[in-house]
Structure formats: structure tokens, C-alpha cells
Amino acid sequence: MRELVIGAAQLGAINKDDSRESVVTRMLALLDQAALRGCDLVVFPELALTTFFPRWYMEDQAEVDTWFEREMPGPATQPLFDFCREHGIAISFGYAELTPEGHHFNTSILTDKTGRIVGKYRKIHLPGHVEFDTERDFQHLEKRYFEPGDLGFGVWRNLGAVMGMCICNDRRWPETWRMMGLQGVELVALGYNTPSVNSQNRTEGERERLFHSELSIQAGAYQNATWAVAVAKAGVEDGFPLMAGSIIVDPNGFVVARAETNGDELISHRCDLDACQFGKRTIFDFARHRRIEHYGLITSRTGAEAPPEHDDA
């Protein structure tokens, strides 16, 4: 058995006025707990260092850029990496990345147990919209502030396992999971900031939203025979509620650990990476069962196109 103790470090609300330093202090407190539990890897949410700023409409790019990190680690985040090295714990967390060339990405990183960054992912499936939308109950401007990720869906060998990352809305897209599954992924780390209500449909509340999130994560894990660690930014940020419900899912798709609160909370599970092998060798042995000659539209067609109406019987 190849076992790793995986921690999911849910964060509660981060308001607009909360400094990165105050957030890092909270993350270090969760890492202290993780060290006591013997965690090998701790996963934090998407955009872990700040409030979920894409809910705020901004026209001044200089203001937008204040939410981004120009270096990683930087002065505010260095203590996280120091903790990794001192305690032999790997971490993954999300942040808004501003590159030296001026590109903006919704990014997550993965470190080894020395605090070295071994993997970087930039969010590919950006939800939301570009311009202020008067039809929505609140804004979700990820398509305004970020470019789609340009690194593809990678996996990395880390701590003896094949690890991948995705971010928030990516989890709803089976392509995300399959791209990593085709690279033999054994553990997917993902963070999210998910409003508790659908901004375009008030009747879709937390029950439905949690169901959709878990359904997508559980199906992705089962259908690719991988562990999944899904970590929320939760709580009410400046009046805007975010869904909690961080979970760890096994390669059969079953939830094995679940956060109980809307605040800072560590859940953990001892994950046997070899438990991925049964699925990968039997029902989801892709080499024996996939039929790529019939999947052409998946990579040749972006949008849906229904057959012409006149075909109707």
C-alpha cells in the first residue's frame, strides 16, 4: 500500500479588507493541525489569499491588479513555504497570478515536502462573464479578470503518487478529469469559491449547488479511478454567502470525509493510492475500452449544434 494522509483545509470567509498576512496566519494555524495529524499533503481553496474578488466590478486595472500576486512565494506567502520545509508537508493552494509579461491567471500550485513548487495549473474553464451584468443578482467576473489557462491539464509525480490539479468550475467538466485520467492521475487537488445561490436563478440554492458539486467530483473520481480532494472557501464574505462542504472522495466515487462547518476547518483522510488500481485495471481500463474513433466531436466542435428541425419525424 502507498498511503498518504491528505488534508483538506477549508477556509471561512475572507472579507475585502482582510490582509494577505491575516489569511496566511489562518492557513498556518490549519497547517499546525495538519502537522499534528501527520498530513503529507494539505490542499487549500481557489484564490486562497483574498476574498473572492471577481464578485466586484472594477474598471481600473491598477485596482484589479492589487488582487494579484506578482511572485510566488512573495513576502506574505513565504511563511507557508517555510512551514512546508520545516515540517515536511506538501501544500497546494490557489491565487491570482500576474505574470512578468502581464498575463492574469486563476492559478494553483503544488509543492513537494521541501516547499519547492513542483506543479502549476492555470484555470481553463472560467465561468461567468466579462461586462457588468444587470440581470444577475450579483457579479461573477472571472472572464473579465482572468485569461483562460495556457498550461493544459498536467499531472506531476509527487510524494510517490501521480497528482493533478483543477480549479472550481473545472470540476463540472468531464474533460478536465479525463485529461488527467489519461495521464494516470491518482489524486486530484481542487479548490473552489462557489456562491451558495445561482446568480441567474434564485431558486437554485445551497442544496442543489452542493449536489451539483459533489455529483461532478464523485463522477470524475469514479470514472477515472482517482482520489479527489475538493476544498471550499466558505462562509459569508462581505454579505455574499459561499458554499462550504469540502470533501475527500475515494477512487470509487464515495465521500470519505466532509467538512461540517462554514469556517476554517481541516478534514483529513489516510488515502491508499493503490486503491486506484482496481478501477484502472478493470472497468476503466481505458486501453481496452475507450473508442476514440467515435469521440471526434469532443475535440473538433466547441459549441453544441442540434440537427436541423426539418428532420423531425
Q: List the catalytic residues.
A: 46, 123, 168
Q: How many residues bind its own copies, per CB under 8 A?
A: 75
User: Are 183 and 162 in contact, with CB atoms under 8 Å apart?
Assistant: yes
Cα 56 to chain center, whole Å? 21
| Residue 13, CA atoms < 13 Å, CB-side half-sphere | 14
Nearer Cβ to its own copies (261/277): 277
Verify binding: residue 157, its own copies, rule CB under 8 A: yes
224-253 positions binding its own copies, by CB under 8 A: 252-253
Nearer Cβ to its own copies (57/211): 211
Q: Name the grid cell of 164.
A: 493533478
Distance CA 146, CA 104 (A): 5
Closest CA to 259 of 273, 251, 249: 249
User: Are 206 and 196 in contact, with CB atoms under 8 Å apart?
Assistant: yes
Give the bridge partners for 6, in sequence order.
41, 269
Distance CA 186, CA 189 (A): 10
Verify binding: residue 211, its own copies, rule CB under 8 A: yes
Phi, psi of 48 (to 5 degrees): -70, -20
Verify binding: residue 280, its own copies, rule CB under 8 A: yes
Verify binding: residue 312, its own copies, rule CB under 8 A: yes
Kindly state the smallest distance separating residue 77's Cβ from its own copies, in Å.
20
Q: What is the DSSP letter of 38?
A: T
Nearer Cβ to its own copies (20/120): 120
Do β-strands 255-258 and 155-158 pair in parallel, antiparallel, or remain unpaired? unpaired
Verify binding: residue 81, its own copies, rule CB under 8 A: no
Verify binding: residue 289, its own copies, rule CB under 8 A: yes
Verify binding: residue 297, its own copies, rule CB under 8 A: yes
Which among 21-29, 66-74, 80-88, 150-158 is the span making contact with its own copies, rule CB under 8 A?
A: 150-158
Kindly state the smallest distance separating residue 215's Cβ from its own copies, in Å.
5
Verify binding: residue 183, its own copies, rule CB under 8 A: yes
Verify binding: residue 202, its own copies, rule CB under 8 A: no
| Total Cβ atoms within 10 A of residue 189 | 31
Verify binding: residue 79, its own copies, rule CB under 8 A: no
Nearer Cβ to its own copies (55/125): 125
Verify binding: residue 255, its own copies, rule CB under 8 A: no
Binding mask 15-34 for its own copies (x = CB under 8 A): --------------------
Percentage helix, strand, coil for the chain under 3-state DSSP, each rounded to 5: 30, 25, 45
Q: Name the grid cell of 15.
A: 472579507
92-131 positions binding its own copies, by CB under 8 A: 112, 116, 118, 124-127
Verify binding: residue 173, its own copies, rule CB under 8 A: yes
Verify binding: residue 148, its own copies, rule CB under 8 A: yes
Distance CA 231, CA 93 (A): 10
